[in-house]
Amino acid sequence: MSFPITRLRRLRKSATIRNMVRETEVNRDDLIMPYFVLPGENICNPIKSMPGNFQLSIDLLVKEVKDLVDRTGIDKILLFGIPAEKDETGEVACQHDAIVPQAIRAIKAEVPQVMIVADVCNCEYTTHGHCGTIVDGDVDNDSTLATLAAQSVTLAKSGADIIAPSDMMDGRVAAIREALDANGFSNTPIMAYSAKYASGFYGPFRDAAESAPQFGDRSTYQMDPANGDEALREVETDLEEGADMVMVKPALSYMDIINRVKSTYNVPVVAYNVSGEFSMVKAAAANGWIDEQRLIKEILTSLKRAGADVIITYHAKEFVLSELEKGNRV
């Protein structure tokens, strides 16, 4: 039936009714909070392009993770490392005493209930800032796989709960799965950055991780933002190689991809609400142009509505704190 018999506004007339029929809700279990860790003690370097985020030494990172759990109940984090020294291949990240393995062990010793997702890539660890070994002016796919696999095993041995390769090399999920299984980590899941686009939204992250490429760009290995069908091929390949979860990155301009991946494969889908998306909200809020907390909630809700089961976001902590302060269920 149609109007006037049907009046859709009947189910919007009070907060109680709206809450009752709400289709999509974001809660703390959906969220992963990213952090940047670097060597030293008592270091807290503000990231200018990402207000409220910091490069933290391990001692302060442990305190921050404790605070995250105690105040918000968020118990999932993603770690990125900034090494003391870099090399040509990223092998520095494969060492037992590399910065992220050290951080994982320290966090697990003090906050053992926290689930740690360890990003696997070489861009933070190479002198040239690319995601693998350079041969003839470009990243060599197959030689990079060995470094990624070795890095993954080191992270798993240090206590990482989930391995998350973000490099976009062909075949890296299979190489990592084989290496993990051969070293006794057959139960360690892989969260693959399966549809990672060569995006302009990564700028603030590259400041934070000190990982900007020193020449060229990453368009020969990250995806063309114009392509959607190709994303499904990337996801299918990663699933065939052993990925347990797949990711779409960035998130806001790629909600169609999130929806297509979820609808096509019906596997756990992760959306990465990336640094540039975060920083645009912060910049607009600083100018008084938006209601910041309202917009953050709307963004996260829209990503979940699009099909994301898990959201990596720099807004995670502040979102939950804001909801708790308002007395909302989260």
Q: What is the per-residue pLDDT for 137? A: 86
Question: Does residue 63 have an active-site annotation?
Answer: no
Q: Which two tokens stand for residue 296?
A: 């953050």
Choice among 76, 249, 262, 297 that is catalytic:
249
Q: Which residue's entry shows tokens 């909302």?
A: 328
Q: What is the per-residue pLDDT for 179? A: 98
Cis-peptide into 4, omega within 30 deg: yes
> Radius of gyration over alpha carbons of the chain, in Å?
20
- 0.95 exceeded by pTM: yes
Q: Which two tokens stand for residue 210?
A: 């000190």
Residue type, 216: G
Q: What is the per-residue pLDDT for 314? A: 98
Q: What is the per-residue pLDDT for 109? A: 98
Positions of the chain with pLDDT lower than 70, given as ranges: none
Distance CA 246, CA 48 (A): 30
In order, the DSSP letters of 90-137 are SGGGGSTTSHHHHHHHHHHHH-TT-EEEEEE-STTTBTT-SSS-EETT
Q: What is the per-residue pLDDT for 32? A: 98
- 313: which strand partners? 273
Question: Does residue 249 have an active-site annotation?
Answer: yes
Choice among 196, 262, 297, 304 that is catalytic:
196
* CA-based nearest residue to 84, from 70, 98, 73: 98
Spell out the domains of the chain, with CATH numbers in brackets: 26-245 (3.20.20.70)
Q: What is the per-residue pLDDT for 209? A: 83
Distance CA 92, CA 96 (A): 9
Distance CA 66, CA 51 (A): 21
